[in-house]
Chains A and B, each alone.
Chain A
Amino acid sequence: MPSYIKEIAGELDYLQHPVELDGKFELLPAEKLPEFQSPGTLAINAVSMKGQATPLVALICQKEAAPRAATIRLMSRISCPVMLVPIGSGTVVFKEDNTRRYVVIFERPKGKRLVPQAGMSPPKFDEDDIIHGVIENLLPAFRELSSRTLTHRAIRPDNIFLTSDRRAILGEAVSTPAGYAQPVLYEPIDSGMASPSGRAEGTVLDDYYSLGVLIAELAMGGTLLDKKTDEQIIEAKIKLGSYGALVGQSRVPLKLMEPLRGLLSDDPYERWGIADLEMWANGRHLSPKQVPLPQKAVRSISFAGKDYLTAPLLANSMRMHWTESKQLIAGDQLDSWIRRALSNDDMASLIKAAQQTGQALASTGSGDDRTASVAMMALDPSAPITYKSTSVRVNGLAQAIALDFFQSGKLEQYLDIIRMKLPQAWVTSQVRTKPEFVAIIKQLESVEQSVKNMTAGYGMERAVYAGNEGWPCLSPLVGDNYVDDIKNLLPALEGMVAAGRIEGAPVDRHILAFSLKHLRGNQDALLKRLNDPFKRDVYNRASLRFLAEMQKQHSPQPLPALSAHMADLLIDAVETFNNTAFRKQLRDAVEKAKHDGQMTTLQMILDNAHIQDQDKLGFTQAQAMFTNLEAQATWLEKGGLVSDENVRMVSEKTSAVISAVCSGVALVIMTISWVL
């Protein structure tokens, strides 16, 4: 298993209790099946609850190398006896640690793995076994994949099962990202140059290449590249072409030479596909077009202690020596070599243009890095985008961001790639344009928009979830829980809070980015409040509102632990209310909301500007009234009421009133007596 994939089988040894998946399968974690384990997974026994006797295997996947959700959905519709396809998948909560994990169910493959361990060369097969047992036998699988434009991307010896009658079956292809666990040998040159996280879904042509390598290994019992390092493999493939590097002058059965040349073609346009393979299987002889090797220069260029005669080989070396590459480009040696030794003025002009753009970007501090990256594209347009220590295929950027999100320094490099529009530069550098480039650029522009926006809920986190369908929430706040469905987010947070593993507000940039994809309504005003986690009170209140909105829309079940946690975080807010009777009312309401687990009620109490304003207004009025009363009391105590002036003032008024009343009475009496 590749060292970059985390081993989880040992870590999950404690799982013992059976659990159900969608009421269709019972998973038995106590019964481990290591012989069916894929890299980065734990294989356990599973039984159908509908009474089907077929033996099953369940792979528990990890969120660090998340399974291919979209491919699982599409592949589960395929019925193919020579390829393991998922018959069930989803998340289940294991009782031992109350953690949600993703599980994929397969029918157990018949037979044993071609090689027991990754990295081993397969045994030599005779010609008939290869033709009938491997190529012809696997044709239905390739036919299904081609017709549905799906990719397998896990064709390698340790993922091929061999039946007792020496017939090959393709192992599962969905438990880790596409091509993630593939050895460099089994990947086309550009994919091999890319880091495992940046290999992308690719196309079915990548699978035909892997099939070609498999056939070569089976025919020769290994290849000429055995025991070579990844970099030596790539260099040899560039130098000699894949066929030349793998097979060379070795004796391979004559019948296999045609498919080997066709499948190992380094030009995807010339590589054999399903139609070619079927025609060959039906006995029609095809002569694959030889892909010319890169143009050799009349004299070599010295770089990093070695001499290079071709541009792709130089580019490959530059990829591994970034600092020296920048020095080489900055000097005149490269330009002179390309113009005079390679006689390629177009290539030299492209590098010149890249230098000029780089100089324009010099103020950003990364101009020379961009120049180096674009220069490498000019030297080898088929190579992946290379920037500093990152190599990624143009359509694999979103997946690479997701896989390397917590890798130190990687995120900044991906950010630079997007900001410097290197994918667009890569597309421009291509000799032949493909229709899918339009969709790729459109997707990248959308990612760029998300990345440029630094508001919480956007940024690189949004790029992870917008660019990778079904990718689980990477927030550390959900712990090991595999949350790929918004409905499971709040229950996961509830579990983490109940376990005492969250101290502050259970909302971070990942949770926001993940949830925003699924939340209805415009949340921009709320996101602004969540921009600064150091403004604790504002952040906590906004978090409560966000969680309440999620509960309202997606998880109506009670969340007592989460409610209690948020109430504890915000209980100080209740104490900021001035009216004591109101405070008591609020405390009672908070206790009730905690008990009921209703975040919406809690939010209406603790993040309600209207009642806060009312309280503030009431308090201001009360203060004014108190001040007024204090002045009155002081005045009274100082004898203000019985002072001469006050007595005179009151007396004058009283005298006037008495006099008016008496005069009025006298007037009435006089009028009556005058009339009578």
Chain B
Amino acid sequence: MGRLPLLIILLLLAVFLMPSAILGCVLMVPSLVAFVVDRNKQRYLTMTVGLPNFCGILPALTSLWERGQTFDGAFSGIADPWNMMVAYSAAGFGWLVYFGVPVIVGSYLSISTEGKIKQVRKYQDDLVEAWGESVRQSASAAAPPDDKEDDE
């Protein structure tokens, strides 16, 4: 589905569910910020922040729907610091994960590098054993362009 139909559906939903839309817009500001600063095409940051943020606004939304989808309900939901705290805390959790995971991932990758190199070399040795030394030739022939690419 393209972006335009999705936008139209969201706008239609916002028109019919205006109090919910107002409440959602206010409580999902952190996700909006994440969307703006996210430069990745896959929008990993937006997902990381947006998903818990959405979970955080669900109690306020359910409360609004139980009270009958009114603008008063929406504004009182916005004014309720508890709702604000829950939604923003959930978004904060997302930000926390986004900034905390690289430390763990970096450590893990540096530990696993040596093993991975060994694994690759062993697999290469198996190939040489099965097909002879000549199987290396194409790799050595192909090496200079690789180096060049690396240099570039």
Contact B134 A658, beta carbon cutoff 8 Å: no
- Interchain CA distance A651-B103 in the complex, whole Å: 9
Contact A659 B138, beta carbon cutoff 8 Å: no
| Contacting residues, chain A, for B47 (C-beta < 8 A) | 656, 659-660
A336 at interface, CB cutoff 8 A: no
- Interchain CA distance A581-B130 in the complex, whole Å: 7
| Contacting residues, chain A, for B105 (C-beta < 8 A) | 647, 650-651, 654
A632 at interface, CB cutoff 8 A: yes
Segment touching A, from B4-12, B54-62, B70-78: B54-62
List, sorted by A's number, 6 A–B pairs whose CB atoms are closer than 8 Å: A618-B131, A630-B146, A642-B110, A642-B113, A659-B52, A674-B62
Q: How far is the CB of B135 from chain A (nearest CB, A)?
A: 5
Classify chain B: how many residues form its interface, as a range: 35 or more
- Interchain CA distance A579-B134 in the complex, whole Å: 10
Contact A659 B130, beta carbon cutoff 8 Å: no
Q: Which of B40, B51, B135, B142 contacts A622 (CB 8 A)?
A: B135
- Interchain CA distance A653-B124 in the complex, whole Å: 30
**Using a CB–CB distance below 8 Å, which chain A residues touch chain B?**
578-581, 618-619, 622-627, 629-634, 636-639, 641-642, 646-648, 650-656, 658-660, 662-663, 666-667, 670, 674
Could you give, for residues 125-145 of chain B, a 1 whenever the CB lies within 8 Å of some chain A CB and a 0 otherwise?
001111110111111001100
Chain B contact residues, majority secondary structure: helix
Contact A663 B54, beta carbon cutoff 8 Å: yes
Contact A630 B44, beta carbon cutoff 8 Å: no
B152 at interface, CB cutoff 8 A: no
| Contacting residues, chain A, for B127 (C-beta < 8 A) | 622, 625-626, 629
Contact B98 A655, beta carbon cutoff 8 Å: yes
Contact A641 B52, beta carbon cutoff 8 Å: no
- Interchain CA distance A650-B101 in the complex, whole Å: 9
- Interchain CA distance A619-B113 in the complex, whole Å: 29
- Interchain CA distance A652-B98 in the complex, whole Å: 7
Query: Which residue of chain B has the shortest Cβ distance to A663 in the bound complex?
Result: B51
| Contacting residues, chain B, for A580 (C-beta < 8 A) | 129-132
Q: Which of B58, B132, B136 contacts A667 (CB 8 A)?
A: B58
Contacts A630-B124, A651-B101, A674-B62 hold; do A623 and B55 have CB atoms under 8 A apart? no
Q: In chain B between 93 and 138, which residues have their CB closer than 8 angstroms to a CB of chain A?
A: 93-94, 97-98, 101-102, 105-106, 109-110, 112-113, 116-117, 120-121, 123-124, 127-132, 134-138
Query: Which residue of chain B has the shortest Cβ distance to A631 in the bound complex?
Result: B146
Contacts A626-B138, A636-B120 hold; do A619 and B44 have CB atoms under 8 A apart? no
Q: How far is the CB of B112 from chain A (nearest CB, A)?
A: 7
Contacts A626-B136, A636-B113, A659-B51 hold; do A654 and B131 have CB atoms under 8 A apart? no
Q: Which of B93, B94, B106 contacts A642 (CB 8 A)?
A: B106
Q: How far is the CB of A613 from chain B (nearest CB, A)?
A: 15
Query: Which residue of chain A has the shortest Cβ distance to B44 in the bound complex?
Result: A652
Chain B CB within 10 Å, residue with most, of A632, A641, A655: A655
Contact A655 B51, beta carbon cutoff 8 Å: no
Query: Which residue of chain B has the shortest Cβ distance to A653 in the bound complex?
Result: B44
Chain B CB within 10 Å, residue with most, of A618, A647, A667, A674: A647
| Contacting residues, chain A, for B116 (C-beta < 8 A) | 636, 641
- Interchain CA distance A22-B111 in the complex, whole Å: 86
| Contacting residues, chain A, for B121 (C-beta < 8 A) | 633
Contact B124 A633, beta carbon cutoff 8 Å: yes
- Interchain CA distance A630-B146 in the complex, whole Å: 10
Contacts A638-B150, A641-B113 hold; do A627 and B130 have CB atoms under 8 A apart? no
- Interchain CA distance A629-B134 in the complex, whole Å: 15
15 further interface pairs, Cβ-Cβ under 8 Å (given A622-B127, A656-B47, A666-B52): A578-B135, A580-B130, A618-B131, A619-B135, A623-B138, A624-B138, A629-B127, A636-B113, A641-B109, A651-B106, A652-B40, A655-B44, A659-B47, A659-B48, A670-B59
| Contacting residues, chain B, for A641 (C-beta < 8 A) | 109-110, 112-113, 116
Contact B143 A579, beta carbon cutoff 8 Å: no
Contacts A646-B109, A647-B109 hold; do A658 and B97 have CB atoms under 8 A apart? yes
Closest 4 CB pairs of A and B: A652-B44, A663-B51, A651-B102, A659-B48
Query: Which residue of chain B has the shortest Cβ distance to A658 in the bound complex?
Result: B97
Contact A630 B139, beta carbon cutoff 8 Å: yes
Contact A629 B97, beta carbon cutoff 8 Å: no
| Contacting residues, chain A, for B28 (C-beta < 8 A) | none
| Contacting residues, chain A, for B45 (C-beta < 8 A) | 652, 655
B64 at interface, CB cutoff 8 A: no
- Interchain CA distance A648-B45 in the complex, whole Å: 11
| Contacting residues, chain A, for B27 (C-beta < 8 A) | none
B87 at interface, CB cutoff 8 A: no
B49 at interface, CB cutoff 8 A: yes
| Contacting residues, chain B, for A642 (C-beta < 8 A) | 106, 109-110, 113
| Contacting residues, chain B, for A639 (C-beta < 8 A) | 113
Contact A656 B52, beta carbon cutoff 8 Å: no
Q: Which of B52, B134, B135 contacts A662 (CB 8 A)?
A: B52
Query: Which residue of chain B has the shortest Cβ distance to A652 in the bound complex?
Result: B44
Query: Which residue of chain B has the shortest Cβ distance to A648 in the bound complex?
Result: B102
Could you give, for residues 23-48 of chain B, a 1 whenever the CB lies within 8 Å of some chain A CB and a 0 otherwise?
00000000000000000101011011
